[in-house]
Amino acid sequence: KSKDTGKNKFTIFDSKMEEELNRNTLIVEVLRNAIDNKEVYIQYQPLIELETTTVIGYEALMRIRSERLGSITPEEFIPIAEESGLIIELSSWLLKEVCNFNKELIDMGIPPRPVSVNISSIQINRPGFISLLREVLEETGLPPQYLELEITESSLVSSIMDATELLNTLQELGVKVSLDDFGTGYSSLNYLTKMPINTLKIDKSFIDNICYSEKDSQIAKSIIQLAHSLNIKVVAEGVEYENQLALLKEQKCDIIQGFIYSGPLHAPALIDMIRKA
Ligand code: C2E
Ligand code: MG
Ligand code: MG
Ligand code: MG
């Protein structure tokens, strides 16, 4: 009897794997044609400066909505795009779109603000990455200080290029750099002191607990203090509640990104929000 159950379990596991494999294959197909089929688009989430409660920037977030599979979350499709190599094409497309968009806003007379773009470790490790950046900035005419690259610690650590060298090159180019998802990976404070970065983003998973864990709250406070001593601005990601906001204000956090102010928006809604402020 026990043998039967074992076999059964194995079969269930097997068909689950097969299902996943099929969905994976379908997603790869969707991603491969997403640009041509206009099934990829971009939303922008405002970043709010606490002191002035104004929009001081916006993060570009990639979205996929396909006829075949409906909406697919970035959590699901980004890893598949990375494994399949399709991230290269998709993110080059996104970079151009986003720089173009931000240049258009400037041309509309809207006071310029940086647009942030998530950069995958696959992109960073490509030899052509810096030249792509140069090319896109030149083609779109976006002044480099209005582009901010969001890079995670883990992709810096695994970078083939020396991390400091890469960051120095980016600083020379004039683009801004922010360290994304801080608090989830290596999060070495020592590392931070050596990195030429402009902004540090404390990850949502960490922000979630700051009101309930004295330890997390103390860590957040220390991170903010250290960042400030290094002339680095701090963004709190995924702020949803008033009590989080109050605590972060008290701790002198600079910038908030979260549903408490706004979720990711379509371009027209973002423009509306900026104009109303
Ligand atoms: P991330 O860069 O840390 O982006 C922030 C994520 O947190 C976004 O999810 C955003 O919608 C979500 N978020 C912001 N505020 C709140 C909040 O108050 N509550 C909740 N529940 N969520 C909030 P999204 O758009 O699903 O993106 C997830 C991740 O996918 C991103 O995390 C980023 O790592 C990746 N990603 C998204 N777009 C791109 C892209 O164009 N390129 C690359 N390489 N990765 C991307
Ligand atoms: Mg990000
Ligand atoms: Mg983030
Ligand atoms: Mg995050």
pLDDT for position 156: 82
Please work out whether the CB of residue 259 comes within 6 Å of at least one atom of ligand 1.
Answer: yes
pLDDT for position 257: 98
Q: Which of 47, 61, 207, 242 to mutate to test the pocket of ligand 1 (most atoms within 8 A of CB)?
A: 61
pLDDT (mean) for 220-240: 95
pLDDT (mean) for 237-261: 98
Q: How confident is the model at residue 2 (pLDDT cuts 50, 70, 90)?
A: very low
Closest ligand 1 atom to Cα of 257: 15
Q: Which of 41, 64, 78, 182 to mutate to test the pocket of ligand 1 (most atoms within 8 A of CB)?
A: 78
Cα 256–Cα 260–Cα 263 angle in degrees, nearest 5: 85
User: Are the C-beta atoms of residues 156 and 116 closer than 8 Å to each other?
Assistant: no
User: Are the C-beta atoms of residues 50 and 92 closer than 8 Å to each other?
Assistant: no
Q: Which two tokens stand for residue 144?
A: 């480099």
Mean pLDDT (the chain, rounded) = 92
Please tell me the distance between residue 154's alpha carbon and the centre of ligand 1 in angstroms: 16
pLDDT (mean) for 54-83: 97
Cα 19–Cα 23–Cα 29 angle in degrees, nearest 5: 150
pLDDT tens figures, 134-193: 999 999 999 999 999 999 988 887 766 688 889 999 999 999 999 999 987 666 677 788
CA-derived radius of gyration, the chain:
20
What is the sign, positive or negative, of the torsion defined by CA atoms of 69, 238, 95, 139? positive
Which residue spans within the chain are E strands per DSSP? 40-49, 54-66, 70-72, 115-118, 147-152, 176-182, 199-202, 233-237, 255-257
Model confidence at 4: pLDDT above 60: no
Please work out whether the CB of residue 98 comes within 6 Å of at least one atom of ligand 1.
Answer: no
Q: How confident is the model at residue 97 (pLDDT cuts 50, 70, 90)?
A: very high
Please tell me the distance between residue 10's alpha carbon and the centre of ligand 3 in angstroms: 38
Please tell me the distance between residue 2's alpha carbon and the centre of ligand 4 in angstroms: 44
pLDDT for position 126: 87
User: Are the C-beta atoms of residues 182 and 201 closer than 8 Å to each other?
Assistant: yes
Please tell me the distance between residue 68's alpha carbon and the centre of ligand 2 in angstroms: 27
Measured from the alpha carbon of residue 201, the closest ligand is: 3
pLDDT tens figures, 18-63: 777 799 999 999 999 999 999 999 999 999 999 999 999 999 999 9
Model confidence at 232: pLDDT above 70: yes
Give pTM, 2 decimals: 0.93
Q: How confident is the model at residue 13 (pLDDT cuts 50, 70, 90)?
A: low
Q: In 3D, which of 63, 80, 81 has the Cα closest to residue 72?
A: 63
Please work out whether the CB of residue 61 comes within 6 Å of at least one atom of ligand 1.
Answer: yes
pLDDT tens figures, 102-130: 999 999 999 999 999 999 999 988 889 99
Please tell me the distance between residue 237's alpha carbon and the centre of ligand 4 in angstroms: 7
- Atom 33 (ligand 1) nearest CA: 118
Model confidence at 132: pLDDT above 80: yes
Place of tokens 């598949």: 80
Please tell me the distance between residue 203's alpha carbon and the centre of ligand 3 in angstroms: 6
pLDDT for position 3: 46
Please work out whether the CB of residue 174 comes within 6 Å of at least one atom of ligand 1.
Answer: no
Question: How far, in whole angstroms, is CA 273 from its chain's centroid?
Answer: 21
Please tell me the distance between residue 61's alpha carbon and the centre of ligand 1 in angstroms: 6
- Atom 10 (ligand 1) nearest CA: 264
pLDDT for position 191: 73
